[in-house]
Chains A and B, each alone.
Chain A
């Protein structure tokens, strides 16, 4: 059973200085076992200016077991799957400590964006590009940031409106856009296929 008292307290603590850290955690549903985290892209990186959403699922053993986190915003990073958004980070696996919190975990993910570890990759293609052609990697990462991480902040309503005009129901459009991280073309593709 998730320690909801602690989760509630963590949410309060995290939202208290959201202006300072930029890290935001909000519940996705009523039971506090599913949350959405958002971290700003660190300055001086290809991810600067983007806002990256992270889906958080708390296991029953939380905080004695690590929370399950993955990016819902597409990101081009050696340690983050460009397909699934899975994160390769030790504190989310064997180095988790009950003393860590959702906020500290998200801060660690933010630090991971600053310091990729291509030698221990999650996405082999990205890691290979990072090692062989760093400039291309930086360009791709910046492009993904501009495309996916800023999309939700800039013009999600325009995309929703455009897709609704194509004949899709608004609720389905919004959920699909959220799933694909705000990518209009991927949302359209998913809507057409499913």
Chain B
């Protein structure tokens, strides 16, 4: 080592405050630590995975103020003041949410390594575009890499979940305002009764960024 130590040496530390899944965490860390490393190794939220560390595979996808981001491409410090959501926030205790259940029903996961990234990608996207078509969903699914499934069942799981959420919303609206649903999603009417008991209807349709534990 010389006297002019590079800035990234281990001695330098930074105090950070991160809002993760509705909980505030304070930690002292090196400025160069990525968000995904801090989530996984400092906060021990290991559900978010690391597949490439260069922003292509999307295994590290989390929600930042509701929008999907690659947690490997940003420093933890850049996430200060934002609401971070990880896969650990989706289930209600041991009860999987409707998207997680749809992945299981459609066999949308095999090894499960890429799965948290796809779940968070889909949650962020469906909150933004609840009426997305299957082709739009396929295009968004193409943001991330999966090596096991061939993608088809991931697309089907998200599409099915989106349809059920729309149906659940419509039946709630009909129940409160006696409103006759528009015809665009009429095919979903048939599925409105098959919303699984675990479906987190309370989260529909306003996105999932406001939930706290």
A and B are partners in one complex rather than unrelated chains: no
- Mark A residues whose CB is within 8 Å of B: none
Chain B positions near chain A (C-beta within 8 angstroms): none
